[in-house]
Amino acid sequence: MWCHRLSHLQSRLQNLLRRGVTCWAFQQLNFKSLFPLAIHWHHTASESLNCAWQQHEDHFELQYANTVMRFDYVWLRDHCRSASCYNSKTHQRSLDTASVDLCIKPKTIRLDETTLFFTWPDGHVTKYDLDWLVRNSYEGQKQKVIQPRILWNAEIYQRAQVPSVDFQSFLETNEGLKNFLQNFLLYGIAFVENVPPTQEHTEKLAERVSLIRETIYGRMWYFTSDFSRGDTAYTKLALDRHTDTTYFQEPCGIQVFHCLKHEGTGGRTLLVDGFYAAEQVLQKAPEEFELLTKVPLKHEYIENVGECHNHMIGVGPVLNIYPWNKELYLIRFSKEKKNMVNRQQGSSLQSYIPKRTLTYSHLISRTSNEYRQSLI
């Protein structure tokens, strides 16, 4: 099999898709309950725009698109997108952040259609589109899903009948690449059929999507049951459910597996949606979900076989979430590579984490969650 680390799929798919996939909803807010005191808002003349704002001593408050947002004046000045502050060709800031007065306040604020203009004490003018502020506000980010997903168990995935993509179509057409990326980003797995069993063709497939990452195993590698790397993966023993490279500080996010040769029976690949299992924990035992996102565990890899001498330790929680919207983005789970959990570290959370890990392990081990696929 050949294994690869790929990244940056979302931007590729967005370039291919005319219409994005969205699956979030904005919560309707009760502004009166948020602001019980008598305050003075600046309202727009247009009723359809439904925009209002208020200036505070150290921040700007904006009500727009059913969202109440707060922006510090320093943030507004520092994120100015004018030609003197921001290079739109390189997408890099030109303004020296240290030069911004920490007590800065705008002299005037005005709205022209859907653009807000801030005039600063030195006369510099910063302008922001209202929709840009929503997208880049903390309040807007809390409501935004970074990666829409379809969570699945075996029944859901089989019922979906997600089609594979033909190798030639994948390589030669944008439609084939788009179909593959859609499947992968929504379900977490995708299949390409009729790939010639050679290193060269596997490499072409990987490079069609993104860059290949160099690791301790090399840029690309194959393995068989010869115990050449002193790991269970290099034997005929069945591997339990796990995520690979948990011992990396940045575990691999994407892998490509290609069966080049098969003799005998067995060898089916076992697939489980770890995000589906995590959602089950969140719904049934939210306090356990929280523990699995907070307590870091060590995963260790020790290799002393032949000329290969590696000792790596990765540290992180089982479930990794974005702090602003609590969306799960990475799972670090491998009972084979998990190091000892020291119960004497003075943290009450640490004492409970082995049991919570077992709860998650039991969920992903359910037969109903397992999907098996032959790569032959």
Q: Tens digits of per-residue pLDDT, 154-194?
A: 999 999 999 999 999 999 999 999 999 999 999 999 999 99
Cα dihedral 71, 77, 80, 85 in deg (nearest 10): -160
Residues 358 and 234 in one domain: yes
Q: Is the pLDDT of residue 26 over 70?
A: no
Asked if residue 364 lies in contact with residue 272, where contact means CB atoms within 8 angstroms, the answer is yes
Residues 229 and 366 in one domain: yes
pLDDT at residue 39 greater than cutoff 60: no
Write down the residue that tokens 């931007």 correspond to: 11
Please report the pLDDT score of residue 361 as a whole number. Answer: 78
Question: pLDDT band at 102, cuts 50/70/90?
Answer: very high
Residue pair 188/275 in contact (Cβ under 8 Å)? The answer is yes
For residue range 299-322, what is the model confidence (pLDDT) as tens digits?
898 888 888 888 999 999 999 999
Question: What tens digit of pLDDT does each residue of 319-364 get?
Answer: 999 998 999 999 999 876 555 444 444 444 445 556 666 677 777 7
Choose one of 136, 162, 177: the last residue of a domain.
Answer: 136
- Residue 2 and residue 220 in contact, taking contact as beta carbons nearer than 8 Å: yes
CATH of the domain at 83: 3.30.2020.30
Side-chain-facing half-sphere of 327: CA atoms under 13 Å: 14
Identity of the highest mean pLDDT range in 135-144, 153-162, 220-229:
153-162
Higher-confidence residue of 30 and 97: namely 97
The answer to the question of residue 223 being in a domain is yes
| Residue 92 domain boundaries | 51-136
The CATH number assigned to the domain holding 297 equals 3.60.130.10
Rounded CA-CA distance 204/134 in Å is 40
Residue from 320, 325, 331, 280 nearest 151 by CA: 280
pLDDT, greater one: 57 or 29: 57
Residue with tokens 């020790």: 302
Q: pLDDT tens digit string along 64-100? A: 988 999 999 999 999 999 999 999 999 999 999 999 9
Q: DSSP secondary structure string, 280-333?
A: HHHHH-HHHHHHHHHS-EEEEEEEEETTEEEEEEEEE-SEEE-TTT--EEEE--
Q: How many domains does the chain have?
A: 2
**Structural domain includes residue 344:** yes
Residue 86's pLDDT is what? 96
Q: List, for residues 185-210, the tens digit of each pLDDT value.
A: 999 999 999 999 998 999 999 999 98
Q: Is 191 part of any domain?
A: no
